[in-house]
Amino acid sequence: MTKAVPSRVRVAVGSALSDERLRLWWLLGALYLCVSTLTRIVLTGVAIAQGQAGLGDVPGLMAVGLLFDIVTALNLFALFALYLVVVPARIYNGRWHRWLLAGMFSFVVFGLIYLGAVEFFFFDEFNSRFNFLAVEYLIYPHEVFVNIWQSYPVARVLFVALGLAVAAIWFMRKPLFGERVAAGAPRVRFAALVILAAATGLAQSTLNVNTGRYSGNRVINELAMNGIYSFFNAALNSELDYGTYYLSLPDTEADERLRRMLMTPRSTYFPKTDHIERHIVADGPPQHLNVVVLLEESLGAEFVGAYGDKRGLTPELDRLAGQGMLFTRAYATGTRTVRGMEAVTASFPPVPAESIVKRPHNEGMFNWSTVMAKNGYASTFIYGGFGTFDNMNYFFRSNGYRVVDRTDMDEPRFANIWGVSDEDLFRNAVHVFDEQHGRGEKIFSVVMTTSNHKPFTFPPGVKGVLEKGGSREAGVRYADYAIGRFFEMAKAKPWFDDTLFVIVADHGARVYGREDIPIRTYEIPLVLYAPKHIKPGRVETLTSQIDVAPTVLGMLNFTYDSTFFGIDVFRDSHPGRAIPLNHNRDIALFDGNNLFEIGFRKTSAQNLYDPVTHSQTRVAVDSERTKDTIAVFQEAFELYNERRYRITGRP
């Protein structure tokens, strides 16, 4: 009797495995595991060749990766298993159903193989599995898919994927197209379904995205992760409640910490307020200069000669840096254009998961144009692409700017899927400024470029660019060339001498490195240029994009009310000051030496940063600085969520 039960169990399991219906499910799952494993092997090989991982890391990441692959397969094909179990035999055995099932099966096989190639290109560009960026891209399929078609060998990849899919289907032709065999008993299939459901439920309750973060090397964790699992995790957590997923403090303590960090000798907090509304007093009489911000796409400091690059990619920007004020330690807050926009225009920290540019209820926020409007300026946002992308037009229109985008630009000399060329953009911007000057308006404008972006295509005949067209270096060369052309046009205009130009990147070229937040990739150029008003010099102070607006307002000597998270780095910076950074769902403050991290699922860490080697070393956590980090992001989330990022009181 004691041996009968195990024997029956073995028979039942064997029957389930060999059941003609469920065999298709097993084959599909096995193929998916093969594709996922092969993708991981290829990505790991590339990472090892680039020095981002070592051979000793392979066993661990493959084991963890297999776990995620199995769990993903269970979830991905659960409905297919359910269908195979419950579909009536008379339908299942029908000829039309056999061909329909075979056709759908073939399509899925092709999709899985093609997805493996897509993962390779995504990892090559972003050093990451599918994340929230991939989710966002699906919101704008026209721009994204055309960009992918122009940037990658899509047709060849499709052809190869189709060939591999045909080979796979040929290998599985017997269970798909061959003569049907008698199906096993329904109770066996239902028993197998119950086992699969139990396994799926157990995996879901014990596994989460942090399970794959077993290594201190971010790239290894990404390699171990499953792309589809990562994608759906990002999609399901796009609207994050800060207190649910991140470390938090009592509201009173968070308020007090943030107010202490932002207190300066020139600011006075409003009475009867518990957040950061304050009155900032200037040092002298106001200077009502025009202000033009050139927000440069993907222009990392690593490409700029003024920051030490030796390739000679940016002669125009290097010249302007020598004639203006160069900030040598400037950092972006994030890795997306919308992060740069929220930081530069609203001085707002990069609260996960989404930028305020794209969040709902972002109308009427306190921002740079709020102060400029009170000082008599007419604000514009000028963009070379279609401003519906990433909700840009709505955000700027709802916050005090007149929007000029591609739809307002007639007959550009050159355009691709992202927008008109930077030359066309700047030519149009100069025309807008001429009109404003003619009407007697004070100019404040944010001009967002697009050319330094894949597929890196530009107008013909640009010396030094076409010879290297299609590469990131070519994108930088052309962006720099267009900057030079802009200033050639601007210098001939009557408004030039009384204009302060701000040249700043929206973010670096790409994120790469082992760390959760690879600091080097956040280094960006920041130059203030106004030959009649600013003496050439170098600013060594640690500076964030959130400091751009308050620093420029300080240079203009404006007295104003503020809720900015940034400071005037000339007057209010101090040695212990730290700036906010974000990568995916990790957030941190960086003080130039230490990175105080707050992670998804309520984790924290501290890394010591070496500015020479750019390496990070894990050290003991400073609890006070960690609490300061929590306070910045917690208060920013609450101010936005409660729609209080506004001026509501008076001193």
User: CB-based burial of residue 516 (10 Å sphere; 0-12 exposed, 13-18 middle, 19+ buried)?
Assistant: buried
Residue 240: partners with Cβ closer than 8 Å, 6 or more residues away: 352, 353, 585
Instruction: Please determine, for residue 197, whether its predicted confidence score (pLDDT) is greater than 90.
Output: no
- Mean local confidence (pLDDT), 86-108: 79
Q: Which residue has the higher pLDDT, 18 or 451?
A: 451
Q: Is 612 in a helix, a strand, or coil?
A: coil
Instruction: Please determine, for residue 340, whether its predicted confidence score (pLDDT) is greater than 80.
Output: yes
Q: Which residue has the higher pLDDT, 623 or 124?
A: 623
User: CB-based burial of residue 72 (10 Å sphere; 0-12 exposed, 13-18 middle, 19+ buried)?
Assistant: buried
Q: How far, in Å, CA of 308 to CA of 193, rounded?
A: 61
State residue 469's pLDDT score. 54
- SS3 sequence of 68-107: HHHHHHHHHCHHHHHHHHHCCHHHHCCHHHHHHHHHHHHH
Q: Which residue has the higher pLDDT, 595 or 28?
A: 595
Looking at the chain, the whole-number percentage of residues with pLDDT higher than 70 is: 85
Q: Closest by alpha carbon to 651, among 267, 286, 371, 370?
A: 267
State residue 630's pLDDT score. 96
- Start-to-end C-alpha separation, the chain: 87
Contact 361, 644 (CB under 8 A): no
Q: How far, in Å, CA of 196 to CA of 193, rounded?
A: 5
Instruction: Please determine, for residue 84, whether its predicted confidence score (pLDDT) is greater than 80.
Output: no
- Mean local confidence (pLDDT), 296-308: 95
pLDDT band at 108 (very low <50, low <70, confident <90, very high): confident
State residue 188's pLDDT score. 64
Contact 506, 295 (CB under 8 A): yes
Contact 226, 36 (CB under 8 A): yes
State residue 452's pLDDT score. 85
DSSP state of 523: B
**Between the ranges 202-206, 274-278, 348-352, where is the mean pLDDT highest?**
348-352
- Mean local confidence (pLDDT), 80-103: 78
Residue 261 CA to its chain's centroid (Å): 27
State residue 86's pLDDT score. 78
- Mean local confidence (pLDDT), 460-478: 76
Instruction: Please determine, for residue 3, whether its predicted confidence score (pLDDT) is greater than 50.
Output: no
State residue 240's pLDDT score. 63
The Cβ of residue 489 has, within 10 Å, a number of other Cβ atoms equal to 17
CA distances from 455 to 153, 159, 245, 415, 450 (A): 11, 21, 37, 11, 11
DSSP state of 215: S
Question: How are beta strands 290-296 and 325-327 bridged, if at all?
Answer: unpaired
Q: In 331-368, which positions are buried (b, 16+ CB within 10 angstroms) versus exposed (e)? A: bbbbbbbbbbbbbbbbbbbbbbbbbbbbbeebeebbbb
State residue 142's pLDDT score. 54
Q: Which residue has the higher pLDDT, 163 or 580?
A: 580
User: CB-based burial of residue 634 (10 Å sphere; 0-12 exposed, 13-18 middle, 19+ buried)?
Assistant: buried
Contact 70, 8 (CB under 8 A): no
pLDDT band at 72 (very low <50, low <70, confident <90, very high): confident
Q: What architecture (CATH level 2) is domain 275-571?
A: 3-Layer(aba) Sandwich (3.40)
Asked if residue 47 has a cis previous peptide bond (ω within 30° of 0), the answer is no
pLDDT band at 322 (very low <50, low <70, confident <90, very high): very high
DSSP assignments along 256-320, one per residue: HHHHHHH--TTEEEPTT-SS--EEE--SS-----EEEEEEETT--GGG-GGGT--S---HHHHHH
Q: Is 539 in a helix, a strand, or coil?
A: strand
DSSP assignments along 582-599, one per residue: EETTEEEEE-SSEEEEEE
Contact 36, 65 (CB under 8 A): yes
State residue 9's pLDDT score. 47
Which pLDDT tens digit goes with each residue over 362-384? 999 999 999 999 999 999 999 99
Domain ranges of the chain: 4-236, 275-571
State residue 17's pLDDT score. 46
- Cα atoms in the 13 Å half-sphere on the side-chain side of 609: 21
Q: How far, in Å, CA of 245 to CA of 599, rounded?
A: 8
Which pLDDT tens digit goes with each residue over 242-263? 777 789 999 999 999 999 999 9
Which pLDDT tens digit goes with each residue over 600-609? 778 899 999 9
Q: Which residue, chain included where needed, has tokens 């101010």?
A: 639
Instruction: Please determine, for residue 297, whether its predicted confidence score (pLDDT) is greater than 90.
Output: yes
State residue 136's pLDDT score. 61
Contact 393, 405 (CB under 8 A): yes
Q: How far, in Å, CA of 396 to CA of 34, rounded?
A: 47
Which pLDDT tens digit goes with each residue over 501-546? 999 999 998 776 677 789 999 999 999 999 999 999 999 999 999 9
Contact 118, 149 (CB under 8 A): no
Instruction: Please determine, for residue 651, whether its predicted confidence score (pLDDT) is greater than 50.
Output: no
State residue 189's pLDDT score. 63
Give the chain's length.
Answer: 651
Mean pLDDT (the chain, rounded): 85
- Mean local confidence (pLDDT), 209-213: 67
Least confident of 62-66, 103-107, 250-254, 639-643: 103-107
pLDDT band at 595 (very low <50, low <70, confident <90, very high): very high
